[in-house]
Amino acid sequence: MGLSGNRAAGLFDGFMVGLIILNVVAVSLETVPDITRQYRLEFIAFETFSLLIFCMEYLLRVWVCVEYRPDPDEKGKGHFRLHFVTSPLMVIDFLAIAPSLLFVFGIDLRLLRIFRLLRLFKLMRYSPALASLGNVLYAERRALMATLIIMLGLSSFAATIMYYLERNVQPEAFGTIPHALWWALATLTTVGYGDIVPITWAGRFFGGVVMIFGVGMYALPIGIIASGFANEIHQRDFVIRWGLVANVPLFNGLDANLIRTIAKYLRSSVVEKGSLIAVKGHQADKMYLIVSGEVARKDRTGKIILKEGGFFGAKSLMEKSNYSASYMAESKCHFFILDAREFHHLMDENPALRERIEEAYTNIPHKDFGQACGPEEILSD
């Protein structure tokens, strides 16, 4: 049931993404007279179809929103629905369809139909990457606003100085500060249209200084957004990692701060099916937590399949001995790996974790593996 639901949701999201992109393409093609004359009826039919789909989606979201509010026991469904309708994404959805609705009812506000391009922003609802970008821009809004103020101030300063340097020789280009501001913006942004240029030696010298400042100042927003993206991805990855570590039977029930510390030291690794992960007799140097996939543990007694949530290597690390079995990926596997140095550091700093691991192995007959998530399957060689 869950799998089919996920597949249906994925198909719907793909359909909506395709429809939004086609709408943006249609808005652009409608500005070409030859295409509009030849396919006018097709454009109208496509716009009508799109409008019906978007309206149905919008109304259904408004209808079911009270069923998915954060607190199902919270009173005041009407109040929550109003809050939901006025949320940023719902406002974008409304503005994307409202101009077309006005046109259908006979109100021809062609200028407002440009808001159909807002349908492109509906992709934020279906694209995690665009949603992450929105989160980054919101989180860094103060830093971005500060850089905007700095850049506008620098532009005004450059325009003012150039006004005094060039106004007498080029009154048509630098006769006023607002006129000079166009040159300052084009220069500081490194666009350099070349339609307005200084001709005096002082103006050219100052223009060179402005260019150097522009390269650095206008790179600030890029750096802020890039840094914000990195933090967003790292934070999301850390949350996922924390949840996975907390659900590992070995760490289940540990203090949240301790789990956070463990998650900080883990590194992620993906191996293909058939890859040899650890070899019997080799010095144990890592502990492995199985995030997904299956791993076969082989020794002289047979083979055991470790599944998602399983772990191995901890006992050998604690004893500073060799692996007592070989481990091979039975399928494509995703691991969280804890290197020996970090493992021993955690053991030394957190006696509770050492006791937990020792207790976990007390009733386990096999030396290197911890637990398998689900039934264990023991096969003969």
State the pLDDT at residue 377.
Answer: 32
**Closest alpha carbon to 248 in 317, 311, 331:** 311
Q: How many CB atoms lie within 10 A of CB 230?
A: 11
Q: What is the pLDDT of residues 181-212, one digit of tens each?
A: 999 988 888 787 888 889 999 999 999 998 88
Mean pLDDT in residue range 119-126: 66
Q: What is the pLDDT of residues 343-352, one digit of tens each?
A: 888 888 888 7
Q: What is the pLDDT of residues 158-183, one digit of tens each?
A: 999 999 999 899 998 898 998 899 99
Place of tokens 């979201």: 61
Q: Which domains, and CATH codes, for the chain?
A: 12-126 (1.20.120.350), 128-247 (1.10.287.70), 255-379 (2.60.120.10)
**Closest alpha carbon to 273 in 312, 331, 230, 190:** 331
Please, what's the b/e burial string for 290-329 (b: 16 or more CB within 10 A of its CB; e: otherwise)? bbebbbbbebeeebbbbbbbbbbbbbbbbeeeebbbbbbb
Q: Tell me: pLDDT of 65 over 50.
A: yes
Please list the residues that pair with 155 across neighbouring strands.
none
State the pLDDT at residue 371.
Answer: 42
Segment of 226-235, 244-253, 338-347, 367-376 carrying the highest mean pLDDT: 338-347
- Choose between 350 and 66: higher pLDDT: 350
Mean pLDDT in residue range 30-36: 85
Q: What is the pLDDT of residues 293-309, one digit of tens each?
A: 899 999 888 888 888 87
- Choose between 35 and 125: higher pLDDT: 35
% the chain with pLDDT above 70: 77
Mean pLDDT in residue range 350-372: 62
Q: Which residues contact 90 (CB under 8 A, 6 or more apart)?
A: 58, 61, 62, 84
Indicate yes or no: pTM above 0.75.
no
